[in-house]
Amino acid sequence: MRRLRIGDWGLRIGGTAILGGALALGYFTAPYAGAAQPPKVVRVGYLGVSPQAASAHLIEAFRQGLRDLGYVEGQNLALEYRSAEGDEARLPTLATELVRNGVDIIVTAGQPAIRAARAATSTIPIVMAISGDALRTGLVPSLARPGGNITGLSILAPELSAKRLQLLNETIPRLSHVAVLWNPENPDSRVNWEGTQVAALRLGLVLQSLEVRAAGEFPAAFAAMSRQRARGVAVLADPLTVGHRVQIVELAARHRLPGVYF
């Protein structure tokens, strides 16, 4: 079987673009070339933003998927997990650490982690577990031929932000003012914010933009929503909001704000 280089092919299923082929057809195929050969230990780095406790179930699913493919930690797999624990400023250091430790491949979750990994290496394959529009945000020059060392999944669904706003409008009688909680540091969130603004114009809604860059800013953001009499809140998908989703839902309930989430 030929091992494809990253960027050799691209595939789109629905709103998801699957880029490159190294993950499926190179590193994570059958682990042994022959029964007599000792197992090669594959070193996989995982780089994320969300706190480890909040993404523990995802990490365990990742480990199980690797076990299903014949990769077992302590035998032929070494998994190095690095989490910025919600602080994106730590990502460059963590990415450099993975490169220095000689990982064979880096799996990333979210735009900030992808960009940190890309800045740290141009040779080690980077697999995007999830990304927004990788083309529009400049991660790859083409979905069909991404080139470079980045492959993975790109979710192309800007209309979903608009649909969620529509659902909120249909649910709340006489809705006029909606707060939008989002992280402007994430290029994917900027794309979603633009789509939400377009939908608001069509629905006749006034949006209140609440920008958050750290978990400590959530309470002040919800207090601002209450002061300006928002009648609902839309939360845009981002590693920051995903990682602190419990806190966000609790704050929405405390302020008696109906919410729509990703």
- The predicted-structure confidence for 89-99, as pLDDT tens digits, reads as follows 899 999 999 99
Which tokens is 234 given? 């839309």
Domains and CATH numbers, the chain: 10-155 (3.40.50.2300), 159-260 (3.40.50.2300)
What pLDDT is attached to residue 101?
Answer: 96
Mean pLDDT of 139-145: 84
2 — pLDDT class (breaks 50, 70, 90):
very low
Which tokens is 172 given? 């709340």
What pLDDT is attached to residue 17?
Answer: 57
* Least confident interval from 19-28, 138-147, 189-198: 19-28
Kindly tell me if the per-residue pLDDT of 12 is higher than 60. Answer: no
Query: Whole-angstrom Cα distance, residue 153 to residue 218?
Result: 29
160 — pLDDT class (breaks 50, 70, 90):
confident
- The predicted-structure confidence for 32-62, as pLDDT tens digits, reads as follows 555 556 678 999 999 988 777 777 888 899 9
Kindly tell me if the per-residue pLDDT of 152 is higher than 80. Answer: yes
Which tokens is 188 given? 């994917």
Q: Are 188 and 137 in contact (CB under 8 A)?
A: yes
Could you give the C-alpha distances from 252 to 154, 163, 171, 230, 234, in angstroms and in order? 30, 20, 16, 11, 10
What pLDDT is attached to residue 36?
Answer: 55
Q: Give the residue, 147 or 124, on which the prediction is more confident.
A: 124
Mean pLDDT of 204-208: 95
Kindly tell me if the per-residue pLDDT of 258 is higher than 80. Answer: yes
Q: Are 233 and 252 in contact (CB under 8 A)?
A: yes
Query: Whole-angstrom Cα distance, residue 260 to residue 262?
Result: 7
| DSSP strand pairing (42-48 vs 105-109) | parallel
Residue in 235, 246, 241 with CA at minimum distance from that of residue 110: 241
